[in-house]
Amino acid sequence: MENEIVHMPEQIQELTLLLMYLTSWQERRTIGLRRKPHKTDDMLLRRCWKGYDFSVLERLEAQGLICGEGGKKPIVFTDEGERLAIELMKKYGLGDRKEDEV
């Protein structure tokens, strides 16, 4: 029983990342109005709204899995965060997710 309690924060973090991924979408990075276009402006970003426990979001960001970008903007998954979320889908038996069309 004690062993289960010790791993609970890790499980909550995993499941939060997984839920964030399942409710996420892809969009093209938008070009700012006041700067010149950059080669990364055509990148696809995976985004998710911040409707999760902020302490968990802070831990995920500290681990480099997401980027909060401040304010009311949605969270952006890092490449590592997206890779881990896909692994967690397999771990929890959710299969493959078809990528969103942009």
Q: What is the CATH number of the domain that holds 10?
A: 1.10.10
Residue 36 placed within a domain = no
Under the banding of pLDDT at 50, 70 and 90, the label for residue 4 is low
In 3D space, the residue among 94, 95, 65 whose CA is nearest the CA of residue 82 turns out to be 65
Residue 37 placed within a domain = no
If phi > 0 it is left, if psi is from -120 to 50 it is alpha, else beta; for residue 74 that is: beta
Under the banding of pLDDT at 50, 70 and 90, the label for residue 100 is very low
Residue 80 placed within a domain = yes
Residue 40 placed within a domain = no
pLDDT (mean) for 65-70: 85
Residue 75 placed within a domain = yes
Distance CA 12, CA 83 (A): 18
pLDDT (mean) for 31-57: 72
Residue 57 placed within a domain = yes
3-class state of residue 85 by DSSP: helix
pLDDT (mean) for 72-86: 93
Domain that holds residue 74: 1-21+45-97
Predicted local distance difference test score (pLDDT) of residue 87: 96
Residue 69 placed within a domain = yes
